[in-house]
Amino acid sequence: MRRNLMVIYVMWLRDMKRFVRAPSRIIGSLVIPFLLLISLGLGFGKTAIPGLSGSTGYLGFLVPGMAAMTILFTGMFSGLSVLWDRQYGFLKEIMVAPVSRVSIVIGRIVSGATTGVIQTYLLIFISILIGFRLPPILPLFVSLIFMILMAFIFTSIGLIFASRMKDEQGFGLIMNFIVFPLLFLSGAFVPLNNFPLWVKIISYANPMTYGVEGLRHSLLGFSMISLPVCLTVMGSIAVLLIIIGAYFFETSEVV
Amino acid sequence: MDAIKVRGLSKKFKDVLAVDHISFDVEKGELFGLLGPNGAGKTTTINMLSTLIRPGSGEAYVMGFDILKQRDHVRKSIGVVFQEPALDGRLTGRENLEFHAMMYSMNKVERMSRIKEVLELVELSDKAGKKVETYSGGMKRRLEMARGLMHRPEILFLDEPTIGLDSQTRRHIWDYIKKLNSDTGITMMLTTHYMEEADFLCSRTLIIDYGKIVALDTPSNLKNILGGDVVDIEITDSCDTFIPELKKIEWIKTIKEHDCRLSLTMNSGEKRIPQLVSLAQRHKINIASINLHKPSLDDVFIHFTGKTIRKQES
C-alpha cells in the first residue's frame, strides 16, 4: 500500500514539475474559456435569457460552464502526456518498473486532475475581474468536489484513448470528436430547459451535463438537476472509468 | 543458477517472426553480447526479457524468475538502458534519478547516497542540476547507465549502448561498461550491430539473424572458426600454375580463387607472407598485391550468413 502511494506521488510530482515549468501551457489553456466569457458572457450579459433566475446574469451562468469546459479540455488532453512519454521513450522507464499498473494510472489521473483544478480556479478568479461574484467559501469547496470528479472522468477517458493510440494527430482528432459534443450538449452555454426534448434526452446521457449542473449549483446556488443526483452520477462514472483506465493501461503495448 | 535462461523463445509481429525459437544461457557476471543487423530481433529479445512485451511462445527466466508469471520479481532484478533515451528532458539529471529511485521504493537516505554514488560513477555530478534536454548524447547515455544501476539490479540490459555516438564518446562508454562489469560483477547483456563493440566488450557473443541464433561463443573462438588469418593475393597471370603449388604447402588451410584473386587462410599470416612471395618468384609469377587480414566478427558474420551486416542494413 505504501509502495503504491509512493508511485502515485512520484507520478504526480513529475507532472507537477513539468506543469510548473511550462507556464505557456497554463496560460494557453485559459485563453479560450476566458475569451468566451468576455464575448458571450459580457455580450449577452444584458440580454434576458429565458430559463435563468432573476438575480444571475448570463455571465454568472456561463462561468461554471466555462470552468467545466476547462476541466474537460485539460482532462481529455492529459492523455497527450502518455503519447509524449511513448514518443520520447519515457513510458518504457515507467513500465519496466516493478510497480502496479493501477497505481501508475491513478498517479496520472491525480496529476491530470490537479492541473485541471488549478487551471479552473485560476479561470474562476480571473472572471471576477469582469464582474463575476465569487460565492462564499463553503460552496466554493463543494465545487471542488465536482471539479475533481469531472477531472477524474475526463482524464480517464483521455488516458484510455492514449493507451491504444500512437500518434498525436490521430489522438487530437478523436479527442475533438468527443470533446465538442460533450461540451455543446451539456448545458454549459444555455439552460438545459431551453433545448427541445430530443436534445434534452441526449444531454441527460452526457456525463458532462451532471458536472456542469453540479458546478452551477455549488457556485450559483441553483441548477436544473439536483445536487445529490449530480454527485451520484459523477461519482459512479468516475469509479467505473478509473477501473477501465487501469485495465487499458495494464494491457497496452509499450513499444 | 544462470542469470538468464532462455528456452525456445519466440515473438511474432503480424506476419513477421521477429524472434524464432531461440535458446541460450547467460552466466552470472558475464558481459554477454547479442550481435546482429538491425531488425534481427535483438531489441525484441531484450523487450521480452525485461517484461515490456509478452513472448509469443517459449519461456525465459531472469535470475530464476519466470518472465511471464513473475514479472515484478524480474523487474526488480533488472536495470535497463534503452536504445532511444528514455529520460524526461524537462527534469534535471538528479530529478530523473530521483524519479527512478522512488519508483523502486528506495527510502530518502538510501536515495540520496545512491544518487551521489552513481553520479560520481558516470562523472556527471557537476551536471546533475541541469535539465536533461541540455545534455549531449553521451551524457544522456551515461545518465541512463547511472539510472539503470540505481536500484542495484543483478542484471543490466544495454540496448545498443553506443548507437548514434561519435567514436570518441563510444570509446568512453565502452570503458564505462567494462569498468562497471569488472568492478561490480554485475551481469550485463548488451545488443549491438557494431562488430568491434561485441569484440571489445563481450565475454561471449550470440550472433542473431532473422530472429534465429547463428552462432554463440567467445569472440576469439568465433574468429578461430574461420581458421586464422586471411591473406589475399592478387596475381597478374598464370594462376593455374600457382594454385597447385600452393596446395602442396601444409600450413595453408584453405584456398579460394576468384579471377586470379586468391584468398588463403593460415595462422600467423604476417610471417608467411615472405615465404609466399619467394614461392611466387621461384615460379616466375607476378604478384600485384598482397593483403593480410586479421579476422573480425564481420568475417564471422559473413561466414555464417553469407552476407555482411552492412549489406543487410541498406
pTM: 0.82
Min Cα distance A126 → chain B (Å) is 28
Interface of chain A against chain B, CB under 8 Å? 3, 6-7, 9-10, 13-14, 17-18, 21-22, 88-99, 253-255
Indicate if the pLDDT at residue A85 is higher than 50.
yes
Taking residues A226-249, report their average pLDDT: 89
Pick from A64, A58, A66: nearest CA to A42: A58
pLDDT at position B199: 87
User: How far does the CA of residue A121 sit from the closest CA of chain B (Å)?
Assistant: 25
How big is the A-B interface in CB pairs under 8 Å? 70
Nearest CA in chain A to B96: A14
Q: What is the mean pLDDT of chain A?
A: 87
Q: Min CA distance, A157 vs chain B (Å)?
A: 24
Q: How far is B164 from chain A (nearest CA, A)?
A: 16
Instruction: Give the integer Cα–Cα distance in Å for A117 and A138.
Output: 17
CA atoms within 13 A on the CB side of A215: 34
pLDDT, average across residues A167-185: 89
Residues from chain A that touch B51, judged by Cβ atoms under 8 A, are 96
Residue with cell 595462422: B267
Sign of CA dihedral B173, B176, B178, B181: negative
Q: Tell me the mean pLDDT per 10 residues along chain B, length 314.
A: 92 90 94 89 92 92 94 93 89 95 92 92 91 92 90 92 84 88 91 87 92 89 80 82 84 82 84 89 87 80 72 51
Residues of chain A found within 8 Å of residue B135, distances taken between Cβ atoms: none
Out of B53, B82, B103, closest to residue A99 by CB: B103
Stretch 69-98 of chain B: residues touching chain A, C-beta under 8 Å: 72-73, 75-76, 78, 80, 82, 84-91, 95
Separation CA B169–CA B175 (nearest Å): 10
CB contact under 8 Å between B104 and A98, yes or no, is yes
**How much is the pLDDT for B314?**
45
Cα–Cα distance measured from residue B179 to residue B18, given in angstroms and rounded to the nearest whole number? 32
The answer to whether A9 contacts B102, with C-beta atoms less than 8 Å apart, is: yes
Exposure string (b/e) for B209-248, b if CB count within 10 Å is 16 or more? bbbbbbbbeebeebbeebbbbbbebebeeebeebeeebee
Residue B192 contacts residue B208 (beta carbons within 8 Å): no
Top-confidence residue, A152 or A88 = A152
Tell if the CB–CB gap between A89 and B76 is shorter than 8 Å: no
Over range A115-127, report the average pLDDT. Answer: 90
Residue in A9, A93, A99 closest to B86 by CB: A93
A41 with A124: CB under 8 angstroms? Answer: no
Amino acid letter, residue B163: I
* B12 touches A: beta carbon within 8 Å: no
Distance, in angstroms, between A7 CA and closest chain B CA? 6
Q: How far apart are CA A153 and CA A238, in angstroms?
A: 5
